[in-house]
Structure formats: C-alpha cells, structure tokens
Structure 1
Amino acid sequence: MDWPDFSVQEMCSLSVEGSGLRRSAIIPPDAQGEGFDAAYDWTTLWYDAVQRDQEVLLVCPKLLNFKAMIADGALRLDGAPARVRRVEAWRRHDIVHLRGAAGRTVATSAGRWSGESGVSPDQSGIFAGLNASLHISRNNRLEWIADWARFHIGEHGLEAMLVMDNGSDDYAPEAVLDALAQTGLKRAVVLKVPHPYGPVRAKKGGGGAKFLQPAMLNLARLRFLYRARAVLNADLDELVWSGAGSVFDATVSSRFGFLAFDGKWRMPPLGLEPPHVHADHIHERVGDKPCPSKYCIVPGGWRRGIGWDVHRPETKLPVKWLRDARFGYWHCRGITTNWKSYNRLGFTEVGPADPFTASKLLDRLPRA
C-alpha cells in the first residue's frame, strides 16, 4: 500500500475505562511520588494492535493482573478464538503475538465487560531504507522540532522522522507536519498518542511505573521502523554531534549495527529570556557530568529481536563496549516546557562558552 510522505497516523487501542477493572500498581505505595494516582495508567489494555506478516501484535503496558484478558480463550480475532503464540515480557511493556494473517478486529472480555479494537497496518514501507529518528513530544514548540530536523539533516543526513505526539493541546498534529515539511526531510509521520505518559519518578524510586515511552519505542520499531536503514534515538532537546561523518553511516558499518554515545549539558547565556532555541546553547554547565547514553541502531540487524528502551536496547551486551567517542549529544537545558517536577529554566550560573559547540550550531542553525 502506498502512504503519503507526510501523514498523521493513529493507533488501534483498547482500554477498560468505565468497566470497574483496574491495573494493579507496579510499585508499592511507599515508593509512589506525588500525583501518582492521576498519572499512572490504570486502564489501557493495549496501545496498538499491529498486523505483521502472519501475526497480530498487541503492544501493551505491563499487563500485570490484566494477563487473563490476553490468554487463549479470552481473545478473539475477527470474531473467532485467537491463539496466543507467545508473550514478550520486557521491563516496562509487554508484546503479545497472535496467530492471524489478516486481522481486522481484536476483542477480549472479563466478566460482564467486553471490548474490541481495530488492527493497524504494517507501515514500515514509509521508512524503508531511510535514515530515521523517533521522538515522543508534547507541546514542544514547532520551531524546536523543525530546528532539530535541520541540525540532523546537515550533520548526519537524516531523512525521516517519526514524532509520537502525546496529546499536545497547543497545536494540532498537522502543524508538526507543516513545520517538518519545510526542513528538507523526505518523510515524516506524526502518530497520535493520547495515553498517560506515567508518573514522574519519586525520589525513593518508582521510575518503572512509566510504561508509555518504552512501549512507544517498540511500537515504532514493530509498525514503522524495522525496515529503516538506521534509527537515531534522541529527544528533541538533544542534538547529536559528529566528529567524523554521519552517525547513520557509522552505525550501518559497525560490527553490531549499534552505536552508543554520551551527552553533555549545554546552557543558554544568563539573562536571555525564554523561550530559548537550540542555537542559544553554547555554554557548558558548571560541574557537569556525562548524561546517560543515547544510541543509533540498525533495526533489521542481527539483534532485531531485542526491545528498545530510552537509553539503550534491552540487551545484556554492555553498552560501554559499543560507545563511539566520535559522536555525542548536547542536552539543551532551555529546550523544555518545564513539564517535570523541577524547574529546568531556573538556573543561575553557566560555564564558559564551548567553541566547538558554538561553531557547530552556527554552521547548522545560523541565527537570522
């Protein structure tokens, strides 16, 4: 099937909202931070049902006490009993494999409740053979999204972006496409993701309660990106720089089809009023330490069966073996809607300007 080069897509989700059913909490009450109840996903059964070859895949939050609703005997595919081939249990999400060559609906039930969703198509052809990136975004400024694209087109030969829009209410998904269409990208998809992001990590633990981001990374892998040439996993406030060519080329030619790289914070000048842009971020952070690694991966490589997570694939292969010092990323402090529990815009000091950062940003994102 042919797909437009720039499009908005949706998921075929199923929720038990209104049924009286409720997912158990994955962490104990004493590790739940403020606002946990309002932010936790109590009701989503699956985020998306996706047709892949001879299977239908259900990409789910951790099923926990909902497991009985995805067992043999509970699920129906196109009205007929569905057979569960296997369940992949990852750290913060689960993937259910159903036998089914041409599924159109998936249904399940529990007690008096029953529910049904459609089945999303395999859309990997949109990104086939391209250098792609993926992102989760909510209300990020359109100029930030466009500047991220421009920087990576120039620095690495980025060709396509998948933006998973987590319920932005400052603009419609089509506005993101309009912004990206002016950057030189070949393809872009905005996937509508209206589900809870999950609770902010409590000081004494609880980060494992955020199901959405890792599940979306793997939905992206399974529905959209598994035929891409290589995929860059970096947030919209993270600019991946190169000291030696394209990170996509380096990943494709690497032994494992995977490269990791560390980050450093970069700060805008003091006294510059927000909203900031990426090009403002030329200063080091005082007392800075490396940020957690990000990565680029060949999705069809020999490790294609492993799950993707925020800072590394879910593999026992040590990331330190696969770090490549020719690449890194700048974590731009002022590119934020301040949605987390601390004020990222409340800094009162910055370090010296970094000539390498300033030169790269001037070259890739020249100011008017």
Structure 2
Amino acid sequence: MREIALSSVTLDPASGLLREAARAAHMQLPDYADKYDWDTLFYDVYRAGPHIVFQGPPFLNLLEPLKASAPFTGAFGFPRFAARHFGQKKRGEIWLRSDAQTVEIDGPLGRYAIAVQPDLAHLFAGRRVITTLSKDNDLRWIADWVRFYARIHGADGVLFYDNGSSAYGMADLQATLDEAAGGAFPAVAVSWPFRYGPQGGMAGAVNGVEADWDSDFCQTGSLQHARHRFLRRALSVLNVDVDELVLDDEGCTSIFAATEASHRGFIKFPGRWINTHAAPPAQRATCRHADFVFRDLPDEAVCPPKYCLVPGRADRLAYSWSVHNLFGAAANRHISTRFSYRHMRGITNSWKEDRWAATGADPATLPRDAALEAAFAVAGLPRSH
C-alpha cells in the first residue's frame, strides 16, 4: 500500500494568530499549554466527491479570518452557498464545492498554497472496516487485533491511524497490517502526528472539579478524517481500540452484520474490563490478548461505549463521529444489551495510567470469560507462552 499523504497546514507565526484556548484559564492544569494544539490550521485538505474538505481542529477564533480569506470570501451563504462550516463537538471542517486540484489561502491568516489530496473512498467501498487511533501499541498486539476482527466478525478492511509512535516506523506498522491481512483485504496505515490534547474528566480536574472534554481534538479529528476521506462508501465501520475486542453476548453474530441489519444502521455497546491475571502468569514485555480471559470485579463495572455504524445511513453530515458517540443522532442514546467489548487491561503501554498496578483482586475470585476464551480459540490467536 502506498504512503498516505496529508496536506497539513500550520499557522504562519508571522500572522500573529494562534487558536484560542478551548478551556477557561482557571480550569487549565500546568501542562495544558504544552498539550494543546494552538497552531494546526488543517489536519488535511482533500477531496470528498464534489467538495474540497478543509479539516482541522475546531477553528474557534480562526473561523472569521478564514472566511475573510480566499477562496472562502463570499462563498458562505447567499448568493453562492458554495461553502459550509461544521464546528460542533471538537470538529473543524469547511466544505467547499470546487473541482480545483490546488488551492491558495490568502488573507488575514497569511498565504498558503495547498495541494488537494485525492478522495480515497474507493479503497474501502463495500467493505467492513475496523478503524482506530494508536500510539506505540506493540506490533504483535496490532496483528492479533486485526486477525481477531477478520476471523470473528468478518472484517475485510483496516484503517489504522498512528499518533506519532516512537517504538517503530510507519513502514514497520504497514508491514504488520499487511501481514495480518494476508493480502485478503486492504489495510492502510495513516500517519497522524498531531498533539492529542489535554485530558478531561478527573484526569484534567482542577481542585477536584472535573474538566470538560473540550480540548482533545486529535482523535475526533482522525475519526472525521477516516469518515470523509476513506469510509463514505464502506459497508459498515467499527470504531474500537487495539485493547478492545467486541463479542456478541447472545451468540456468534458479527457486529458488522448486526449493524447492517439494524433499523438505524447503528449499534452502540458498552465494555467490561478483563483482568491482567493469567494462568500461567503473563509478562508485560511479551503478553498477548489471548493470555487474558478473567473478568475484573465488580463484574458489572462497564467502560464507556463504542459503536459500529453504516456510513451514509446512520450519520448525516451534521452528525459527528467521536470516540464514544455519534453526536447528533437519536440512536446515540440507546446502548445495546447484546454486544459488548472486552477491555484488556494487560494490552497497554500505560500511557494514561499503570493498568497492571490498578488491579488488586484475588485471582481466585475472578470469573472466567468463557465466550472470550472460545473466541480466541476460533480466531487462532496465540498466547505468549
């Protein structure tokens, strides 16, 4: 698979402009400024059918200077109606109806000559695709993740965004995806080297007050990019991380097949934790998914939901693909009781917390997840020992 190019644009310092902070100053932790994306104007500029999509983090204070710049001047509203802006839920997009192959931004933000990247929706047309954003996840985990979804759910496409891994290069990642796919389906790695952004919730809390999830633009950006440049014509799409394995808790139906057959073309499902306990014990340096088959306690504790959808049926343009939600869709309120994902505590590089140290339950009390164990056997996933 060829390398995927992005037409990224960073604000020219000479413009004197930066993106304003999305979070009030009194709710910013000391490392907020280091993590926040102040200067990415566009992640990518690409074709989506008859439109050019200028996609970046939320434009915020940069939107009006953009509207005052060529080629957008006079394009919004009457009489041309050639441009639309979508800025909800950590999303920054301008859709411009144009057949141009190159564009030049010229105005208050400076001058930028930009090549319009090609529409790649044909790569995944009619396919069942898994997509994720990852950083430094071990290559053996990535390979096992692809094989699990191909063999258990019938996935026949992989779109994998890499957020600046230092443990390996993009060539190694692409080779791993190609090997796991075995030449049977397209597997595409995309370099997405942008600041992830400050955390929300208790991870971003100030004086015990939880922060809003208002400043972590990167992952939502990758999902919107996947949606528009690659996956508009996919049969169905599953958004899950490398440490998340979906199962049908009532049988063996593919999550893709169930989503395609559903009324709204959308299924949202919860997760449950799988403990780091293994018999025989697994080691952090060599562990694999199939080492872990014991549920955490309390067993009813759930993780934030993920989802599978049918592009074009479940997601109107005004809706937003995000990490745990399809924002704007009425179906987003419903959580499936049939499907859930197993969240593997041991499959982690502990970028957020030490998940191995976070579990202290007596192994003798942990229930075995027979469905997960059976799925590993069907998928042929190896253990580390």
Normalised by the size of structure 1, how large is the TM-score?
Answer: 0.91
Q: How does 1:273-352 map to 2 (within 5 A)?
A: 273-275=283-285, 276-288=287-299, 289-301=301-313, 303-305=315-317, 306-321=319-334, 323-340=335-352, 342-350=353-361, 351-352=366-367
Structure 2 equivalent of residue 118 of structure 1? 115
Residues 182-226 of structure 1: CA deviation (Å, up to 9, x unaligned): 223510111111111111220220421001111211111100001
* Residue number among 173, 178, 203 corresponding to 1:176 in the alignment: 173
Verify: 1:366 aligned to 2:382, yes or no.
Answer: yes
Verify: 1:14 aligned to 2:26, yes or no.
Answer: no
- 1: CA distance between counterparts of 2:20 and 2:8? 19
Report the alpha carbon displacement of residue 17 of structure 1 after superposing the two structures with TM: 4.9
Decide whether the 8 Å contact of 1:244 with 1:326 is kept in 2: no
Structure 2 equivalent of residue 269 of structure 1? 277
* Residue number among 239, 249, 267 corresponding to 1:233 in the alignment: 239
* Residue number among 192, 210, 214 corresponding to 2:216 in the alignment: 210
Decide whether the 8 Å contact of 2:177 with 2:188 is kept in 1: no
Task: Answer with 177-186 or 88-97: which moved more.
Answer: 177-186
Structure 2 equivalent of residue 3 of structure 1? none
**Structure 1 unaligned residues grouped into runs of 5+:** 1-5
Aligned-partner residue type, residue 285 of structure 1: D
Report the alpha carbon displacement of residue 348 of structure 1 after superposing the two structures with TM: 4.2
- 2: CA distance between counterparts of 1:83 and 1:133? 36
SS at match of 2:327: coil
Report the alpha carbon displacement of residue 353 of structure 1 after superposing the two structures with TM: 2.6
SS at match of 1:180: helix
Structure 1 equivalent of residue 371 of structure 2? 356
Aligned-partner residue type, residue 216 of structure 2: K
Residues 258-309 of structure 1: CA deviation (Å, up to 9, x unaligned): 1111110101216532033211221111224111111110002153422211
Aligned-partner residue type, residue 382 of structure 2: P
Q: Call closer, same or farther: CA 1:332–1:106 in 2, change over 3 Å.
A: farther
Aligned-partner residue type, residue 171 of structure 1: Y
- 1: CA distance between counterparts of 2:332 and 2:74? 38
Decide whether the 8 Å contact of 1:14 with 1:116 is kept in 2: no
Figure out how many residues of one structure are paired with residues of the other and give that number.
356
Structure 2 equivalent of residue 222 of structure 1? 228
- 1: CA distance between counterparts of 2:6 and 2:152? 32
- 2: CA distance between counterparts of 1:95 and 1:229? 24
- 2: CA distance between counterparts of 1:240 and 1:173? 26
Verify: 1:83 aligned to 2:75, yes or no.
Answer: yes
SS at match of 1:161: strand
Report the alpha carbon displacement of residue 361 of structure 1 after superposing the two structures with TM: 2.1
Structure 2 equivalent of residue 142 of structure 1? 139
- 1: CA distance between counterparts of 2:359 and 2:241? 24
Decide whether the 8 Å contact of 1:92 with 1:208 is kept in 2: yes
Aligned-partner residue type, residue 14 of structure 1: V
SS at match of 2:214: helix
SS at match of 2:234: coil
Decide whether the 8 Å contact of 2:264 with 2:331 is kept in 1: no
Task: Answer with 25-34 or 189-198: which moved more.
Answer: 25-34
Aligned-partner residue type, residue 185 of structure 2: K
- 1: CA distance between counterparts of 2:43 and 2:30? 25
Structure 2 equivalent of residue 107 of structure 1? 105
Aligned-partner residue type, residue 85 of structure 2: V
Decide whether the 8 Å contact of 2:234 with 2:311 is kept in 1: yes
Decide whether the 8 Å contact of 2:276 with 2:356 is kept in 1: no
- 2: CA distance between counterparts of 1:359 and 1:249? 20
**Structure 2 unaligned residues grouped into runs of 5+:** 77-82
* Residue number among 40, 45, 48 corresponding to 1:44 in the alignment: 40
Aligned-partner residue type, residue 69 of structure 2: A
- 2: CA distance between counterparts of 1:302 and 1:165? 26
Report the alpha carbon displacement of residue 255 of structure 1 after superposing the two structures with TM: 0.7
Normalised by the size of structure 2, how large is the TM-score?
Answer: 0.87
SS at match of 2:230: helix
Q: Call closer, same or farther: CA 1:159–1:287 in 2, change over 3 Å.
A: same
